[in-house]
Amino acid sequence: MENLIFKDLDLSKEVQKALDEMGFEEATPIQSMAIPHVIEGEDIIGQAQTGTGKTCAFGIPAIEQIDKSIPGIQVLALCPTRELAIQVAEELKNVSKYKRGVQILPIYGGQPIERQIMALKKKPQIIIGTPGRVMDHMRRHTLKLENLKMLILDEADEMLNMGFREDIDTIVKELPEQRQTLLFSATMPKEILDLTREYQKDAVHLKAVHKELTVPSIEQYYIEVREHSKPELLCRLIDAKNVDLGIVFCNTKRRVDEVTSMLQARGYSADALHGDMKQSERDRVMNKFRKGLIDILVATDVAARGIDVNNIDAVFNYDLPSDEEYYVHRIGRTGRAGKSGVSYSFVFGKDYYKLKDIQRYTKSEIHAMKAPTISDVQEVRLEQAAEKVVARLAEGGYSKYNNVIERILEESEEATTLDLAAALFQMAFDELESRNYEAGDLDDERSAYSKSNMARLFVSAGSMDGLQPRNLVAAIAGGAGIEGRLVGAIEIHKNFSFVEVPLNQVDEVLAAMQNFSFRGKSVHLERAEKRQRSKGYSGKSSGYSSGYGGYSKGSSGSRRRVPDKKKHPKKY
């Protein structure tokens, strides 16, 4: 069956809002199968591996069916470990965020029981607990279950492996017979089947199985990277591997927007594709991507369905998918029409477990790879610049500059023709070179870019005027006709700001911005050093990060088109 879209389910506005905020768009296979049956009041046996979304499979319908007019506990979920109980409770709290009056309480061993007794007096409707601690409260009569409507046995096979069968029997005997019982287990040994026969009525067996899919013959790599270094790694890979057309996959809509804004701020031609967008917007983005007007598409799995674009150089798994099938669908976007393709997956910590599951399922090897260094990127850039020079030589038509070259050689007696060519190449390359890289956790190299190539300008507007970095980038790029990615570090103070622009274009910027106004206020720009001498502004950083153009901290690459001025990140 096709996975369901949460918006297509008959969910309350409060739960739908919470799911949207969590970035959830499409239900996983077990959620798609289980939620409709649970809402109908049926007992179910849900068979699915860990990490496939079982919590929301029972949590969403459980929250939706809470009757605030009924006192006491209405849902009890038993988990094998305190860690799982806490995890389940946290996720259900997120789902019920906008459901007023719905209270969820985890109870487990290792936490003072007195604290739990106090919390139980606040009359929560949903209890997530370990068998031992649930039994303790039942003996103390602090856990009253006469109004229970739903029992959930989560990770049932694990509970049996840990010897909780007798505890489960003890707990279930005290529960009302008229109840709904949901059982979730990764495996179905005889002991689990005995449980289902004893405690469930006409249970529906739902099994989330993988389809047999063919893994495309492409190169697959994974790179170990911490969360905060993912943006830097993505930019380096795009440039070091000379990716002209690529897709970046994220697990949530919020993440898609964040990554898209980051790429646009660093000067890449990128756009987003996710389920919150109107169909007309999605069609517009896809048309631009097919025509090559967008280099990098950032998408969720759902929104990327139906993408049929050849010549995609690479797929980036910014987040590893929870479902192995999604991984196959993702990487299948590259390497089409008989051409080679490559995929890069970003992993760290627990992601390695998912990676092993993916390799087992796909029966393919995903090779470890080191992050590209700044030197790797510079080498690619030099090669690109060299190719341009060779192409220019092939075109001819440059003999009119011979006299100038001869005069320079005469005036510089020790310089050779090779020295002159190298100097001219360096000058041209420095002008083209517009992105500066952070080393961070990726390596220990430092950027070679010099601040002396930038001019600092004073701007007579600040945060009190509502000015944001994206406003300056758009105004300068639009007014002076320079690329937005060439705008450097930006500092927004209360009543004034500073912005860096290329030194060789400062006069053009000042001339173009003479009549600049923002929200009805006339704003003037001038060289910062001149302003400091006359007015005494210190120009100290206000704490706003330099993250907006090619010369700003943490940016990367050099060959992208001007980003869409309407889409810059809110955080700067």
Instruction: Identify the pLDDT of residue 52.
Output: 73
Farthest-apart Cα atoms in the chain, separation: 102
The alpha carbons of the chain give a radius of gyration, in whole angstroms, of: 30
* C-alpha closest to that of 178 among 157, 151, 156: 151
Mean pLDDT of the 342-360 span: 90
Other residues' Cβ atoms within 10 Å of the Cβ of residue 281: 14
How many CB atoms are closer than 10 A to CB 369?
15
One DSSP character per residue, 145-207 reads: -TT--EEEETTHHHHHHTT-HHHHHHHHHTS-SS-EEEEEES---HHHHHHHHHH-SSPEEEE
In a domain, 328, yes or no: yes
* Crossing angle of the two packed helices 230-240 and 253-265, in degrees rounded to 10: 60
The residue behind tokens 């190298």 is 422
- Closest to 549 (Cα-Cα) out of 539, 536, 531, 562: 562
Residue 539 lies inside a defined structural domain of this protein:
no
Average pLDDT of the segment spanning 513-524: 88
Share of the chain above pLDDT 70, in %: 83
CA dist., res. 519 & res. 468, Å (int): 12
List of residues 6+ apart from 344 with CB closer than 8 A = 221, 222, 223, 237, 314, 315, 316, 317, 369
Whichever domain contains 244, its CATH number is 3.40.50.300
The answer to whether 346 touches 249, Cβ cutoff 8 Å, is: no
Mark whether 112 and 166 lie in a shared domain.
Answer: yes
- Quick one: 85 and 129 in the same domain? yes
Task: Count Cβ atoms below 10 Å from residue 255 Cβ, excluding itself.
Answer: 18
Give yes or no for residue 335 having a pLDDT over 90: no
Tokens 């050099």 found at: 558
Q: For residues 77 and 283, which has the higher predicted lDDT (pLDDT)?
A: 77
32 and 164 in a single domain? The answer is yes
Residue 1 CA to residue 27 CA, distance in Å, equals 12
Is 515 within a domain?
A: no
Buried b (16+ CB within 10 A) or exposed e, 425-450: eeeebeeebbbbbbebebbeeebebe
- 3: Cβ contacts below 8 Å, ≥ 6 apart: 26, 27, 28, 29, 31, 32
Over range 255-282, report the average pLDDT. 87
Contact (Cβ atoms closer than 8 angstroms) between residue 553 and residue 261: no
The last residue of a domain, from among 326, 357, 372: 372
310 and 288 in a single domain? The answer is yes
Number of domains in the chain: 3
**End residue of a domain, out of 432, 452, 471:** 432
pLDDT higher than threshold 50 for residue 448: no
In this structure, are 143 and 91 located in the same domain? yes
Looking at the fold, whether 115 and 249 belong to one and the same domain comes out as: no
Whether 80 shows a pLDDT value over 80: the answer reads yes
Summarize pLDDT for 68-77 with one digit per residue, the tens: 888 889 999 9
pTM above 0.75, yes or no: no
> Do 226 and 162 belong to one domain?
no
C-alpha–C-alpha distance, residues 92 and 96, integer Å: 6
- 284-297: per-residue pLDDT in tens? 898 899 888 899 99
pLDDT at 560: 39
Beta bridge partners of 343: 220, 315
Where in the sequence is the domain holding 361, given as residue range(s)?
Answer: 219-372
* pLDDT score of 209: 64
